[in-house]
Structure 1
Amino acid sequence: MQEAIFVLLLSAVGVFGGGFWFFRNLSRARLLEDTPTSKIRSAAQGFVELYGTVQGEPEAMQKAPLTGTPCAWWRFKIEERTGSGNKREWRTVESEVSGASFLFADGTGTCMIDPRGADVKPQTKQVWKGNQRHPLRVDTLSFIGSFFAGEYRYTEERLHAGEPLYALGHFSSHGAAREGFNEAQEVGSVVREWKQDYPALLRRFDYDRNGELDEQEWTRMRQEASWEAQKRFKSRLRQGDQHRLADPGQLPFVLSSMGEDELAKHYRWHALAGFVAVLGGTGGVIWICLKNGWLLG
C-alpha cells in the first residue's frame, strides 16, 4: 500500500508540475510571437520587444570570474564530484550571476539593460573540468585534458560586445525634455552642491569679506545658481533621452542571443516536455488506481 501511495504521489507531481511547465512555456512562446518588435527611438513606455546588439569596448567591460574574459554579462557554476563508486555525482558548490547593467543598441538609439531577474540565454557557454576550486584561466592543454580528469566542473556563460541580442522587458525613458525644468528643484540642487564646500562659497560671494553672506550677497548667489541650473538643464536637453530596459515584474523578462523564432521554438519544445509529463503522470495515476481497485469501488 505504501508503495502504491508513493507512486500515486509521484504521478500527481508529474501532472501538476508538468502542467505548470506546459502553460508557463506555451504562454511565453505566444507572448514572444504576439509582441511586435519596437525601435528604441520610437518605443512606447512599458512592455516591449527589442532586437539589436550588445555594445561596449572590451577594456571597459567587466571580466567573467572563472576565465577573466571581458564581457557584458556572465553566469557561472562550480560543481564538485562527490560520493564514491557508482554513487558519484556532481554537486553545485558555488554559483553566481552578473547584475551589472550594459549598453544595447539597435541602430536608432541606445538603451541600458539591467539584467537582474532576467531569463538569460547566451550564445557562449563554456564547460570544463579541473582540480582546483577556483580556476585562474583556461588554456588549450587544460581545456582538452579536462574531459578526462578533474574533481571540479566549471560552467561559465557570457554575453559579449557585438553579439546580437533579443530583449523582452519593461522599457522606460528619462530625460530633461520629458521631466521639464523645475526651477526651485534645480536651483536648490546647485545651492546644496555649492554649500558642501562652504569656504569656496564664501570666497566667491562674500564680497565684503566679513566671513558670512548678507542678504545682498545671498541674492547674488541665488541668481548665479539659477543661471547654472539653466545651463545644466540645457546640457541635459542636448544629451536627449536616456532609455532603460528592466524586469517588468509579472511579465517575462528575457534576454537571448537567439532570434525570436528560435526562442519561441525553444519555449514550445519545453511546453511539449511539460505536456508529456502531464500525460505520463495521468497514466500513472490511472494505472495505480486500476491496479488497486480504487476506481471500481
Structure 2
Amino acid sequence: MDGQQLAFGLCVSVTACLGGGWWCLRRLHQARLLADTPTSKIRSAAQGYVELSGRLLEQPEAVIVAPLSGRSCLWWRFRVEKYSGNGESRRYRVVESGCSEAWLRLADATGECLIDPRGADVRPASRDVWYGDTPRPLWNRRAPTGFSLLTMLGGGGNFRYTEERFQAGESLYAIGDFRTLGGGGQAFDPAVAQGAVIREWKRDYRGLLQRFDADRNGELDTEEWEQVRRAAEVEAHQRQRQAVASPALNQMGRPREAHPFILSSLGKTHLIPHFRWQALGGAALCVAGALATAWLLNGYLHPLAR
C-alpha cells in the first residue's frame, strides 16, 4: 500500500470512527432528554423547553395544498428524483425538493398552541411514494392511496415522487421551545420596558425631535431627555395593560439551546427506541472505523519495523 492509498484509507476510517461516535452520543443524549421530559398540558406548560401532545386542527382561512398530490393538508414536504446515470452508477438523484413553512395548530384538552415548524425534525405518518415519466406528476395521476406492486418494484417511470403530509385531526407529539405571549403571562420589568420604548423611538430620531425638542435647536437637552423618559415610562405601562387584556397566545419553535426540536405523528414511546437503535448503529460504525484505522496503521508500520 503506497502513501496515497494509506492516507485515503485513514481519512475514511478516522472519519467513520469520529462521525459514528458523535452520532452515537448525540442520539443517546436526545433519547435521554426525551425520556426525562414530562408531557405538559398547554394551559399549564412552563415557559421554555417543554413536551406537548395533542391533535392538529385546521388553521382558520388557511388553504394548503400539497404540491405533488394536490391533496389538502396542514403541512407538506416533497422530493422529486430522476433515475439517471451510466452503467452501474445509475441511481435516483434529487432534481427538486421543497418543504412547507405553514404554522401548525396543536390542541389538547386545556388549550391550543401554534407551532413554527422551521428547523424541526418533522416525522409525519402520511408518506406516499409513486413513479411517473414527467418532472412533476400529472394532475390526473394522483398519489397512490395504498400498496401497489408497481411501487414495490420501483417501476412505472424515470421519476420517483415522495410526499409527506400532516392532516387535520392527526395526533402530534411536539417538543421544543414554548412561549406564551400576552395575557399577562410574561414578567414585567418597568425599567427594561421603558428602555425598549426609548430605543424604539430613537430609530425615528426626527420624530423624537418633533415631539420633545421644545426649543427647536435640533438637540435634546437634559430636561427634554427627562420628558422622553417620563413619556416612555407611561407608554411602557400602557403597553403592559394592553398585553394583560389581550388573550394569551401560545407558541412553540426551535430551541435556542442544542436541544432536539421534534414534530412527530408518533409519540416518544416510538422515538426513544428509534434513537437508541440509531445510537447503536453509530457505535458500531465508530468501532469499525477504529478497527480499520488500527489495521491500516499496523499494515503500514509493521514492514518498517523489520
TM-score by length of 2: 0.74
How far the C-alpha of 1:233 sits from its partner, in A, is: 4.8
Per-residue deviation at 1:31?
Answer: 0.5
Partner of 2:285: 277
Q: Which residue of 1 aligns with 2:105?
A: 103
Residue 166 of structure 1, CA deviation: 0.7
1:165 and 2:172 aligned = yes
Give a deviation string over 1:39-62, Cα, whole Å, max 9, x none: 100001111011111111798441
Selected match of 1:79 from 78, 81, 89: 81
Pair 155,82 (structure 1): closer, same or farther in 2 beyond 3 Å: same
Per-residue deviation, 1:86: 2.4
Amino acid at match of 1:155: T
By how many angstroms is 1:140 displaced? Answer: 5.2
The amino acid of 2:89's aligned partner reads: K
> What SS is found at the alignment partner of 2:43?
helix
Give the structure 1 partner of residue 213 of structure 2.
none
Cα distance 1:60–1:295, how it changes in 2: closer, same or farther (>3 A)? farther
Matched to 1:45, the amino acid is: Q
Q: Whole-Å Cα distance in 1 between the matches of residues 32 and 43 of structure 2?
A: 25
**Structure 1 residue 155 and structure 2 residue 192: aligned?**
no
SS at 2:301 equivalent? coil
Contact 1:48 1:169 in 2 (8 A): yes
SS in 1 for 2:102: coil
| Pairing 1:48-127 to 2, within 5 Å after superposition | 48-56=50-58, 60-127=62-129
Shift of residue 139 of structure 1?
A: 5.5
> What is the alpha-carbon distance in structure 2 between the residues aligned to residue 251 and residue 62 of structure 1?
29
Secondary structure class of the residue paired with 1:41: coil
Contact 2:69 2:143 in 1 (8 A): no
Whole-angstrom CA distance in 2 between matches of 1:39 and 1:8: 51
Aligned to 2:255, what secondary structure does the other structure show?
Answer: coil
Length, aligned pairs only: 248
Amino acid aligned to 1:55: L
Counterparts of 1:108-257 in structure 2 under 5 Å? Answer: 108-137=110-139, 138=142, 144=148, 145=150, 147-178=154-185, 233=242, 237=245, 240-249=247-256, 250-257=258-265
- Is the aligned partner of 1:266 residue 2:268? no
Q: Partners in 1 of 2:23 and 2:63 — Cα distance?
A: 36
The Cα shift of 1:176 comes to 4.0
Please state whether the residue corresponding to 1:39 is helix, strand or coil. Answer: coil
Cα distance in 1 for partners of 2:132, 2:86 equals 18
Give the conservation status (yes or no) of the 8 Å contact 1:15–1:279: yes
- CA distances 1:245-291 after superposition (whole Å, capped 9, x unpaired): 00113321111111111101111111111000001001101111121
Listed as ranges, the gaps of 5+ residues in structure 1 are: 186-228
Conservation of the 8 A alpha-carbon contact between 2:101 and 2:116: yes
Alignment partner of 2:128: what SS? Answer: strand
Task: Return the alpha-carbon distance in structure 2 between the equivalents of residues 57 and 243 of structure 1.
Answer: 14
Deviations 1:177-218 (A, max 9, x none): 3468x9x99xxxxxxxxxxxxxxxxxxxxxxxxxxxxxxxxx
Residues 42 and 52 in structure 2, CA contact (< 8 A), matched pair in contact too: yes
Q: Distance in 2 between matches of 1:295 and 1:22?
A: 35
Letter aligned with residue 130 of structure 2: W
Where does the alignment leave 5 or more consecutive residues of structure 2 unmatched? 198-237
Please provide the CA RMSD for this pair.
2.8
Task: Flag the 1:98–1:294 CA change in 2: closer, same or farther, 3 A.
Answer: farther
Relative to structure 1, the CA distance from residue 59 to residue 154 in structure 2 (aligned partners, 3 Å threshold; closer, same or farther) is farther
Question: Does the 8 Å CA contact 2:116/2:252 hold for their aligned counterparts?
Answer: yes
Normalised by the length of structure 1, the TM-score is 0.76
Identity level (%): 43
Q: CA deviation at 1:129?
A: 1.0
**Residue 37 (structure 1) aligned with residue 44 (structure 2):** no
Over 3 Å counting, the alpha-carbon distance change for 1:294 and 1:52 in structure 2 is farther
